[in-house]
Amino acid sequence: MKTLRQRLLSVVRPGPVVSVLRLYGAIGLGGPLGRGIDDESLAPLIERAFAPRRLKAVALAINSPGGSPAQSALIAARIRRLADERAVKVHAFCEDVAASGGYWLACAADQIWAEANAIVGSIGVVSASFGFQDAIARLGVERRVHTAGERKTLLDPFRPEDPADVERLKRIQKGVHDNFIAHVERARGDRLTGDRAALFSGDVWLAAEAQELGLIDGVGHLAPTMRRLYGEDVRFAVARPRKSLLQRLGAPGAAELLGAVEERALFARYGR
C-alpha cells in the first residue's frame, strides 16, 4: 500500500501511462448490435489508446478465438501504424485464447505475453459448411438458381459438392494462409525457433510451449508485467467501448443473440 507521501507525489508528479485496449470476442462480428470486434467499431478506441499524455506503452488484452482474416489484418495494421507513428511500444497479453485471428492481433505487438493456461496459435485457415442436397430431395424440394457468371454458385450447400469449387476454395485459403504466415514472420522474426511446418500447421499450444517455439516472449499478466517494465507508479488508462442502446437497456436483439451463438461456437473449438 502506498504511503501518504507516495500518494501526494503521484498527484504532483503523475507516473507514466499505459493504455489498455481490450480485444475480446470473435473478429468480424462487431457493429452496433453485434458482439465481438471489427475495425470500424474499434477505430476510435485504438485512437484513444494512443492519445494520452505521458504514454509509455499500449497493452492489448486479447481474448479471441479468431474470425475474419480481413478484419484481423485491418485491426492489426491500424495498431501497428499508430505505434510506429507515435513511437510507442505495444505489448499483447493473451488471456484464455489468442488463436487464429486472435494471434494475428497479438502479432501487432512488439512483445507478446500469455497467461500460463492460455491457448495460443492456430496459424491456419478453416472453412466449414453443410450439404443439404439429399435432405431437400427427400422433402421433394427443387432448388432453382439462376446466375450471370458460371462460377457464381461457389459451394452451394443445396447442390452436390463440385471438385472444381473445392479446388478454388483451397486456392483462396492458401492465399490467406500465406498472408498470415508472412504477418507472423514479420512480427516475430528470428524469435521463431520452431519447425516452420509445425508452427504454421494450424496447431495450438499452451503458453510455456508457445514461448519455446518463439510465438510469445514470456508468461505473464498485464498489470505486474507493465509495472515491472515501466515502474510501480505506472497508471493504467482503459479504452472502453461505448455500449449500444440495447446493451445499456440489457435487452439483446436478434443480431446480438445470433452473434453470441456464433462466438460461443468459435471459443468451444479451443475448449473455452
Q: Looking up cell 492456430, which residue turns up? A: 122
- Specify the amino acid at residue 45: L
Asked if the model's pLDDT at residue 251 lies above 90, the reply is no
| Alpha-carbon dihedral sign for residues 93, 98, 101, 103 | positive
C-alpha cell at 159: 447442390
C-alpha cell at 227: 509495472
For residues 119-125, average pLDDT: 92
Asked if the model's pLDDT at residue 5 lies above 90, the reply is no
Report the pLDDT value the prediction gives residue 208, as an integer from 0 to 100. 97
| Whole-number average pLDDT of the chain | 84
Q: Among 125-139, 167-181, 229-243, which range has the highest average pLDDT?
A: 167-181
| Residue predicted with more confidence, 107 or 246 | 107
* pLDDT band (50, 70, 90) for residue 216: very high
For residues 207-233, average pLDDT: 96
CB 38 within 8 A of CB 68: yes
- What's the rounded Cα separation, in Å, for the pair 179 and 176? 5
Q: Smallest Cα–Cα separation from 143: which of 159, 160, 161?
A: 159
Asked if the model's pLDDT at residue 25 lies above 70, the reply is yes
pTM of the model: 0.82
- What's the rounded Cα separation, in Å, for the pair 14 and 11? 5
Asked if the model's pLDDT at residue 18 lies above 80, the reply is yes
Integer distance in angstroms from the first to the last C-alpha of the chain? 35
Asked if the model's pLDDT at residue 13 lies above 80, the reply is no
Asked if the model's pLDDT at residue 4 lies above 60, the reply is no
Report the pLDDT value the prediction gives residue 160, as an integer from 0 to 100. 74
15-123+190-268 CATH = 3.90.226.10
Q: Residue 93 phi/psi, 5° resolution?
A: -125, 110
- Within 86-206, residue ranges assigned H as helices are 101-106, 133-138, 163-188, 196-199
Tell me the CB-side half-sphere exposure of residue 158, using CA atoms within 13 A. Answer: 11
Q: Residue 96 phi/psi, 5° resolution?
A: -65, -50
Burial of 61 (0-12, 13-18, 19+ CB in 10 A): middle
Give the start-to-end residue ranges of the domains of the chain: 15-123+190-268
